[in-house]
Structures are given as structure tokens and as C-alpha cells.
């Protein structure tokens, strides 16, 4: 599919008349038509500046001889959607974004695309669409927010959520909470830590689908406008060389992305999105591969929430390419993969230098010898579960505790707020998976409340839902099979002992095997009355271990 299908020949005269109705000259119609997928809106802080990014992309396309034409994509702000029914509509938008972008791109005969996303599900949704449509495509995000500052220390959205927990525990005043509210998120852009949005924008660089700096140049820097112009020019070069997304997003490129993920300590949500993107590229990527890569990939960065450095610090230290160059010192990347620059990964990163070993640890002095994410399996999660290992205290890497079981996030949050969670507990939140939620809600409020109350080194949380990229602590999500699909998380009872061993990649419900089998035999999952899009989504979605793809 290309412009030829809509503007060439006598039979396409009606189509050309509609291009004239758009005000496009014959000269514009004769040039390659480049779709600019704009995720601009006025409700997501990470998207409020995308109109300026889109304008810059249009200039870049035009300078390089193309005709830019803008069409929209939706996006949900996970922070605003957090903690209520709205979060059921976050993950599900990933597929709406992919589907609608595919429809728009193919219906109108574009020759190439520039994707302009920024936050959470918007980035993987557009990567999925790029793989499906498979015409020359470049990504340029809106960029990360600058960190806030309180009492001389940098802060971010995770600090804000934890401040709520600290206030509930009587550790800070209402005035201090209000100061956090006003200062934690000081600019437009994706929230300033290594949360899901920034993880996916960084991994877009590692995949080869975004230019250098796509993941790290702050939203408010003029370099971001320059980058957008270069993205517009780059798609025209890709078109001339016929470089397409599935030429770039090969199995080797996806392994590179997963390796960089481990080094950066990205959000656990990457373990949903990378398999889904791989699926669209006809590449098999399962959770078992994650542990294989983690075993040989050192964790080099502790950005918030794992540490006290932020995206602006990573950018100043050399960005994603500097991290990749460190990894390449031990041959951990496939450097022959082609990228949107028309060059290979090896050529792209050759001159990148680590400018701050405190932000990007050298390869011979990592935070840990293993990667930032771990996949745990056992009788409680036979198909897998995911934890952000780099954000877990050493004291919680091996842990046993008594289960306190809740059938929704709201029930768990009420118990936490009421002071019913104590040191030694394992909070189990179920019926929040892709099918059971439905929508696999992120649960930043419960995790942040526990951290804010000072229980981060004595309480674990387990769910068949998700945890935010802003979550830290022993928080294990994506438990598969989920409760709604008959998974073992559905048979856990209050007081059961749960054993977690992150170094050994295990998670076990410590009940007698006969008792376990009897409970499973008699287990009947709860059903929810659903309507609208969520009803259709629940009927089609796979488990978290497969990336929550739609079957």
C-alpha cells in the first residue's frame, strides 16, 4: 500500500479531488505522503507538548522532500487513571492504538510514518502498529519531564505517591504533602523516573526504531525540537532505502532491547510490551528468555524509583547509547542490526561515551551482575511472574510471609489505609489480571502506601495485575495463570505461607501438595458482569506471560 493507490491514474481522479479539498497542491500530491501520528492531547502531561514536536517533524519531512499529513492516536495518563476504574482502560488502549493506527495508515495509502508518542501504552501500541503496517517508520517521543526538587533533593511522581503513604502514617504534615503536590511534577513530559513511558522510549532507541536521544532528551529542551526535525528527515531516507520496521525489529534487535532493559532497570511493564511487539513481528519472545538474558547482563543504572537519579541525569551521562556501549564492551549486543539511521547498532554507538560513572555504572562495576528484572516461577505462578529486581531491597530478595488476600485493589488499599498490614505479611491482590480485571490495572497506590509507611523492607505484594514502573519494593506482578483463568493465586487463603526467592527465580505457596491439588480441584473463579469494550477485551485477551495480546 502506498500513495500510488490513491493519487495515480485516471481512476484515482476522485481521490485526488479529495486531496484538493484538503488544500494539497499537485506538487504536494506528487511527493511521498508521510503520515505523522500525533498523540497530542491536553489531559496527559507527557503529551501536552506534542503539538510542537509534530510541527518540527512536519518541517523535517518537508525539508527532505515529503508531504507530511497529521492524524491522531489516543493516550491515557496512567497517573491520573491510577487507583480507580479508569486504570482498567490503560493497558487496553495499547490495542486500540495499534488497531486505529493500522486502519488510518492503510486506508489512506501513506508511504511512510513518523510516530509521535510519549506515555506508557502509547509507545508499544504504535510499535505494534509499525510492525503490522511495515512501511518506513521513525519514532520520536515527547521526552521526559524534569525532576522536581523538595528540600534540595530531586523528586518525581513516585515520591508523590509515597508522600501520601507517609502522610497517612503521620510521618509528614499536610503542608509538606501539599508541597510535594505542587513540586513533584514541575514540567510537561513523561514522568521523570525510569517508569513505563521512559522505559519504552529508551527501548525504542535500543530496538533501532528511534534516533539517539529519543528516550532521554528532556521534553522542555530545544534539542528535542531538533531531534523531531531529524526524525522527519530520517523517514525520507528510510523511504529512499526501503528500510522497514520488520527489517529493524528482528529477533536480534528484540534481544538487544531486552538486554538494555536489564541494564537500565526498566519498568516491569516492558515484560508485557516486548512480547506483544515481538508477536507483531512474528518473533517468539517468552518470559524464560528474560531470565537467560538477565543472568549475563549486569544492571548498570538505578534511576528512580530504584535510586536517586533521573532521566535528565541519564541524558547528561550519555543516554541510552552510552549504556549500550558499556554493554558492548562484553559483547552483550548484536551490533549488526540495522536501525532507522540506516546504520547498524555498532556504527550508531561507536562514539558514545559514559560521561558519569555514578549514573551509568561501568560494565566492570555494576550495581549487580544480573539484570534489573527477574521472572519468578513456581506453583503459585506456573507460567511466570515478574519483579523489578533492581528496585528490591537486599533484605527482601529472599522472603517468607503470611498471606493477606484481597479480591480487588480497592479492598487491599482499604486494609492498608486502616493499618491492617503488618511486617511479615504478603499482600495478595487477585482478580486484577488482563481477563479478571479486566485490563490488568497498575497498582501504584498500594505499593507506594506501604513504602511510605516504612514497610518496604518487611512486606511483599503479589498480584495477577500489574505494578507501575514507579513501584519499588518486593512487588511481584503478572502472576500467570491469573485467578480469573483458574490460576493458583485464586486458591490462596489468609494465613498461608508464601515463599519468595528472587535470586533463585521462585515463588511458592507453601501448602501440602495434597491440599494444593484439592483446592485447585474445587476452585471456581469469580465472574464479573461486564459491558462495552472491556467485555470484548476480556473475551479475547491472553495471559500476562504472553504479553496480554488479543487472540
Catalytic center residues: 468
Per the listing, cell 515520591 goes with: 159
Distance CA(347)–CA(337), nearest Å, equals 10
Cβ atoms of 363 and 330 closer than 8 Å: yes
Cβ atoms of 481 and 382 closer than 8 Å: yes
Q: How many residues does the chain have?
A: 551
Cα end-to-end distance, the chain, whole Å: 25
Per the rule left: phi > 0, alpha: psi between -120 and 50, beta: everything else, 432 is alpha
List the Cα angle 299/300/305 in 5-degree steps.
80
> Helices marked H in 184-286 — which ranges?
196-207, 222-241, 245-248, 251-264, 270-280
Residues 6+ away with beta carbon under 8 Å from 419: none
Cβ atoms of 109 and 138 closer than 8 Å: no
Distance CA(425)–CA(402), nearest Å, equals 5
Distance CA(40)–CA(188), nearest Å, equals 12
Q: What is the enclosing helix (H) or strand (E) of 150? A: strand 148-150
Query: Cβ of 414: how many Cβ atoms within 10 Å?
Result: 13
Cβ atoms of 178 and 108 closer than 8 Å: no
Distance CA(73)–CA(141), nearest Å, equals 13
Per the listing, cell 561515551 goes with: 353
Residues 6+ away with beta carbon under 8 Å from 65: 31, 32, 236
Cβ atoms of 34 and 71 closer than 8 Å: no
DSSP 146: P
Strand pairing class (398-406; 497-501) = antiparallel
Cβ atoms of 348 and 322 closer than 8 Å: no
Strand pairing class (475-480; 381-387) = antiparallel
Distances (CA, A) of 216 to 89, 158, 208, 235, 248: 27, 18, 15, 20, 21
Amino acid at each position: 500500500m502506498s500513495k500510488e493507490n490513491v493519487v495515480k491514474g485516471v481512476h484515482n481522479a476522485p481521490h485526488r479531488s479529495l486531496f484538493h479539498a484538503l488544500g494539497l497542491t499537485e506538487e504536494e500530491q506528487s511527493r511521498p505522503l508521510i503520515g505523522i501520528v500525533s498523540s497530542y492531547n491536553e489531559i496527559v502531561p507527557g503529551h501536552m507538548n506534542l503539538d510542537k514536536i509534530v510541527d518540527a517533524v512536519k518541517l523535517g519531512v518537508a525539508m527532505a522532500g515529503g508531504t507530511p499529513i497529521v492524524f491522531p492516536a489516543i493516550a491515557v495518563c496512567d497517573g491520573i487513571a491510577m487507583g480507580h476504574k479508569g486504570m482498567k482502560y490503560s493497558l487496553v488502549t495499547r490495542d486500540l492504538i495499534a488497531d486505529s493506527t493500522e486502519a488510518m495508515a492503510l486506508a489512506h495509502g501513506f508511504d511512510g510514518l513518523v510516530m509521535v508518542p510519549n506515555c506508557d501504552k502509547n509507545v508499544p501500541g504504535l510499535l505494534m502498529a509499525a510492525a503490522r503496517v511495515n512501511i518506513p517508520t521513525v519514532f520520536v517521543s515527547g521526552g521526559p519531564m524534569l525532576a522536581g526538587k523538595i528540600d534540595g533533593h530531586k523528586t518525581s511522581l513516585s515520591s508523590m505517591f509515597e508522600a501520601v503513604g507517609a502522610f497517612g502514617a503521620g510521618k509528614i504534615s499536610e503542608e509538606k504533602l501539599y508541597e510535594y503536590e505542587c513540586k513533584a511534577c514541575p514540567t510537561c513530559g513523561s514522568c521523570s523516573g525510569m517508569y513505563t513511558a521512559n522505559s519504552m522510549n529508551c527501548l525504542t532507541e535500543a530496538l533501532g526504531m528511534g534516533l539517539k536521544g529519543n528516550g532521554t532528551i528532556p521534553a522542555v529542551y530545544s534539542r528535542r525540537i531538533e531531534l523531531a526535525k531529524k526524525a522527519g528527515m530520517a523517514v525520507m531516507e528510510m523511504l529512499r532505502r526501503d528500510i522497514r520496521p520488520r527489517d529493524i525489529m528482528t529477533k536480534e534487535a528484540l534481544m538487544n532491547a531486552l538486554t538494555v532493559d536489564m541494564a537500565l532497570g526498566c519498568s516491569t511493564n516492558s515484560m508485557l510490551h516486548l512480547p506483544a511487539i515481538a508477536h507483531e513481528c512474528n518473533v517468539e519472545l517468552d518470559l524464560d528468555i528474560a531470565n537467560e538474558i538477565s543472568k549475563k547482563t549486569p544492571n548498570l543504572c538505578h534511576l528512580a524509583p530504584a535510586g536517586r537519579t533521573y532521566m535528565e541525569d541519564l541524558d547528561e551521562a550519555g543516554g541510552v547509547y552510552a549504556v549500550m556501549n558499556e554493554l558492548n564492551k562484553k559483547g552483550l549486543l548484536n551490533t549488526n542490526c540495522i536501525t532507522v539511521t540506516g546504520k547498524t547498532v555498532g556504527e550508531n554507538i561507536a562514539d558514545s561515551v559514559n560521561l558519569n560513572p555514578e549514573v551509568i555504572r561501568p560494565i566492570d562495576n555494576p550495581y549487580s551482575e544480573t539484570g534489573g528484572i527477574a521472572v519468578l516461577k513456581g506453583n503459585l505462578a506456573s507460567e511466570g511472574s515478574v519483579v523489578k529486581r533492581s528496585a528490591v531491597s537486599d533484605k527482601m530478595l529472599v522472603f517468607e510471609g503470611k498471606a493477606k488476600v484481597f479480591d480487588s485493589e480497592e479492598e487491599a488499599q482499604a486494609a492498608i489505609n486502616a493499618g491492617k498490614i503488618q511486617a511479615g505479611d504478603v499482600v495478595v491482590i487477585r482478580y486484577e489480571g488482563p481477563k479478571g480485571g479486566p485490563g490488568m490495572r497498575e497498582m501504584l497506590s498500594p505499593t507506594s502506601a506501604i513504602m511510605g509507611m516504612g514497610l518496604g523492607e518487611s512486606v511483599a505484594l503479589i498480584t495477577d495485575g500489574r505494578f507501575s514502573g514507579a513501584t519499588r519494593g518486593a512487588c511481584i506482578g503478572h502472576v500467570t495463570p491469573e485467578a480469573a483463568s483458574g490460576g493458583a493465586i485464586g486458591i490462596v487463603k489468609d494465613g498461608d505461607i508464601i515463599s519468595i526467592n528472587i535470586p533463585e527465580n521462585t515463588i511458592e505457596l507453601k501448602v501440602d501438595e495434597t491440599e494444593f491439588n484439592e483446592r485447585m480441584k474445587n476452585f471456581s473463579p469469580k465472574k464479573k458482569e461486564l459491558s462495552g469494550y472491556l467485555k470484548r477485551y476480556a473475551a479475547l485477551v491472553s495471559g500476562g506471560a504472553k504479553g496480554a495480546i488479543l487472540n
